Structure 1
Amino acid sequence: MQQTPHSSIPRGVYVFLYILGLIVLAILLFMVPRGGASPVEHLGSPNQAAAEPGTCGAGASADKTVLKTAPTDTQWVTTESGWIGPVSQTAGPVVESPIRSCFEHSAQGALYASAWALIHVNDSPEAYLPTVIGPGAEQITKDRLQDTTTRTVVRIMGYRYMSYTPERAIIRILFQTPSGTYRYFETTMEWHNGDWALWVPAEQPQVTDEFAKDKYVTWTAA
């Protein structure tokens, strides 16, 4: 009997091709990413594009040492009302008046901007609040300007990065009240129009008591 082209192919060839297909499929499934981003990626991926410098001459840096280690070049200055804030020759602020502004486009620049956000919201809201952005910017401006009570001066004691990318940083600033209580204020700093700006969510951020001080990087005036 004459064989067809199909019947002329040995059965072993079909078995081999079948097994080969299973191997290829297994490799493809193994290569598919599973799950979400790792915790390290929340503090910035090594593959992120280099940060562009701002428009005010403060420069930019990809150095993220500050995420875990306090800056070594911090100087502390005192405002007229007694608040003590950080300054740096590299991270800023470059501009001193009417508010401290023009920070380096870097993790360290975001930290300094975050500290001054805490200070300025209490110390000089009229000058600072027009720079605030986000869905809650209008409400926090209205509430703060209507509150005429004198704010208690507190002392910055440390910080904790919750997340960081060159475009947004979420940082908790730890401070101590005159009574000795430790609290933190969580700031979201967004790179906006060439500088770090305080981004306020619709739900207003609140000052929160903190009992786990060991989770923070110590950063305070001597």
Structure 2
Amino acid sequence: MSSPDFAQRPPWTRPGFIAAAALLLAVILIGVLVAVFAIANNTRDNLSGGGAATSTPTPGSTPAESSTTAPGAPQAVPTAPPADVRWELFGQTAVPVSASAGPSRTGETASGYAHTPEGALIAAAQISKRAAHSAGRQSWEPTIQQQFEPNADRDRLLAALREAGDTPAEPGELSQLVGYQYQSYTPDTAVIGLVYRAPAAGTPRYHVLSLTLVWRDGDWRMVPPPGGAWTSINRMTSDLTGVIEWGAR
């Protein structure tokens, strides 16, 4: 026979019900703890960048590209000659002058060139012509002293020209500028090949003078030829592929 006291007690006070309720509560608490632990781990991973989840890109979108050019990096150069050039006679040859690219100052030297590919091109034509033996000492000496990078090659070039003395060129004896090509260009350094037609009868003969200029102290300056000899950067050619026609008409 069951105990009257036990039979009359509410079910939630009975031992079996209490044990079952305690077990259910323990399961719920364990589940809550697991969920909290998982959320905490995900939050820590996201804050540290260790999570594998990434945002889904919009269809057709691409990552943004940087528009910053690294210092000294090669740059695109114009594929056509400067548009505002006029040609002025300097001795027996014509030299280019541009209102936008220079030179802005002329006298015993020509200086003040734009910090652009066009400025470098006109500086190459002007400075090399004024530094040539045929220009006369009143031109080549200040040009080389003031507009060439100072080094041993510059000193050798000056010494060679001083030793040669002044001998005026005969009419028709000098090569004429007929074109150019940018061999490389950065805002710091430009290598430009000036193409000249040699003064010879019959089949045209060309030679390329590969000139290096550097941007220094607010202007383009010439790097002296190796050994102080123009012949070290001069080559004959019959191939004018890639050469842009340019010169006085």
Query: TM-score interval w.r.t. the shorter chain?
Result: 0.5 to 0.7
Of structures 1 and 2, the one scoring higher in RCO (CA 8 A, sep 6+) is: 1
How far, CA to CA, are the matches of 1:48 and 1:94 in structure 2? Answer: 29
Indicate the residue corresponding to 2:245 in structure 1.
Answer: 218
Query: Of the candidates 218, 234, 237, which is equivalent to residue 194 of structure 1?
Result: 218
The answer to whether the 8 A contact 1:186-1:205 is kept is: no
Indicate the residue corresponding to 2:9 in structure 1.
Answer: none
CA drift at 1:64? 5.1
Query: Of the candidates 149, 172, 184, which is equivalent to residue 133 of structure 1?
Result: 149
Query: Of the candidates 78, 89, 93, which is equivalent to residue 83 of structure 1?
Result: 93
Q: Give the superposed CA RMSD.
A: 2.4
SS at match of 2:123: helix
- Matching residue's letter, 2:247: T
Indicate the residue corresponding to 1:106 in structure 2.
Answer: 116
How far, CA to CA, are the matches of 1:119 and 1:46 in structure 2? Answer: 36
How far, CA to CA, are the matches of 2:84 and 2:68 in structure 1? Answer: 24
Matching of residues 1-222 of structure 1 within 5 Å: 47-48=69-70, 65-66=77-78, 68-79=79-90, 81-122=91-132, 123=135, 124-131=139-146, 132-133=148-149, 135=151, 136-148=153-165, 149-151=167-169, 152-179=173-200, 180-203=204-227, 204-206=229-231, 207-222=234-249
CA drift at 1:49? 5.6
CA drift at 1:174? 0.4
Note the residue ranges of structure 2 that are not aligned, 5 or more in a row.
1-66
CA drift at 1:83? 1.6
Indicate the residue corresponding to 1:38 in structure 2.
Answer: none
What do residues 176-197 of structure 1 show as CA deviations (whole Å, max 9, x unaligned)? 1221421111110011111101
More displaced stretch, 192-201 vs 110-119: 192-201
How far, CA to CA, are the matches of 1:172 and 1:113 in structure 2? Answer: 12
SS at match of 1:208: strand
Q: Report which of the two structures shows the higher radius of gyration computed on alpha carbons.
A: 2
Indicate the residue corresponding to 2:54 in structure 1.
Answer: none
CA drift at 1:118? 2.1
The answer to whether the 8 A contact 2:96-2:125 is kept is: yes
How far, CA to CA, are the matches of 2:216 and 2:236 in structure 1? Answer: 30
CA drift at 1:221? 1.2
- Matching residue's letter, 2:111: S
Note the residue ranges of structure 1 that are not aligned, 5 or more in a row.
1-44, 51-62
The answer to whether the 8 A contact 1:64-1:107 is kept is: no
CA drift at 1:150? 3.3
Indicate the residue corresponding to 2:52 in structure 1.
Answer: none
How far, CA to CA, are the matches of 2:239 and 2:68 in structure 1? Answer: 29
So what's the TM-score if we normalise by structure 2? 0.60
- Matching residue's letter, 2:177: I
Alpha-carbon spacing, 1:169–1:65, altered in 2? closer, same or farther (3 Å): closer
